[in-house]
Amino acid sequence: MYKLLSKTRIKKTLALVLISLTFQGCFSDKIYNEIYIKNDVVYGTKRFELKHYIHPEDSRSAIKVLIQDIIKEIDSNDKVSYTAYDYLELTSSSFKIDEKVFYIIDNVAYPMTIDHVEFDNVRKTIENKSDVLTADSTTVSVVTGYSEQNKKTVKFKYNIPVLMMEKIKETGQLSIRYYSGPSMATFNTRQISLGKMIEMIDSK
């Protein structure tokens, strides 16, 4: 009876995990790689927002993830500007990241002019839990201990020149490079992200 219940619970757990992953994938696609358009009555601009979630090409890199927001604004005189907001997560043992961002297009590196940088250390305490089978065959989740997750985060803000965005559209290429001590992290934009960037460039 116990073995039968265990197998049933395992099957149910696996099914829930698969469903959860499916929903997370759909949810991520809605948050990332979608263009959101709003009118900003304060600054009198039309805003286009695009968010990317990218992993580095080298999994050994100390910089583990890049989440980038690009804001395109068109003012009442049809002047266009682009602002990037980069959020990076690094391992807790990583060196301080260089305050530099490079766009690589067609094997040529272009340094961005950084307007603002923020550094932070994030510590998160996680409960370790285990399911225990009681006498009446119900399962109870019990806390077995605690563990800590530590990471560093960095935020960059900078303007992307309009000519740079046009070059990205023209070549269909973009890699973003950061340095942290001996670690070099290159983030290659996925085809879907690049397609959305070009769509945003063409948006009026």
Length of the chain measured in residues = 204
* Inter-axis angle of helices 162-171 and 191-202, nearest 10: 130
In the predicted structure, residue 17 carries a pLDDT above the cut 90:
no
Instruction: Provide CB contacts within 8 A for 165, sequence distance 6+.
Output: 82, 197, 201
**CA–CA gap between residue 168 and residue 196 (Å, rounded):** 12
The residue to which tokens 């089978």 are assigned: 133
**CA–CA gap between residue 98 and residue 178 (Å, rounded):** 7
pLDDT of residue 10: 45
pLDDT tens digits along 142-151: 666 665 668 8
pLDDT tens digits along 154-182: 999 999 999 999 999 999 999 999 999 99
Q: Which of 131, 156, 143 is nearest to 66 (CA)?
A: 156
Pick the CATH number of 34-116+157-202 from 1.10.3470, 2.30.29, 2.60.40, 4.10.830: 2.60.40
pLDDT of residue 27: 38
Three-state secondary-structure class, residue 178: strand
**CA–CA gap between residue 50 and residue 200 (Å, rounded):** 8
pLDDT of residue 127: 66
Three-state secondary-structure class, residue 196: helix
Q: What percent of the chain has pLDDT over 90?
A: 63
Tell me the pairing of strands 80-91 and 102-105.
Answer: unpaired
> DSSP secondary-structure letter at 146?
E
pLDDT of residue 68: 96
Read off the pTM. Answer: 0.75
Instruction: Return the domain boundaries, the chain.
Output: 1-31, 34-116+157-202
Q: Which amino acid is at 178?
A: Y
In the predicted structure, residue 118 carries a pLDDT above the cut 90:
yes
Q: Kindly report which listed range (16-20, 67-71, 106-110, 166-170) carries the lowest average pLDDT score.
A: 16-20
Q: What is the mean pLDDT of the chain?
A: 84
- Stretch 110-119: mean pLDDT, rounded? 97
- Stretch 97-119: mean pLDDT, rounded? 96
Backbone angles phi, psi at 74, to 5 degrees: -120, 120
Beta bridge partners of 3: none
pLDDT of residue 95: 94
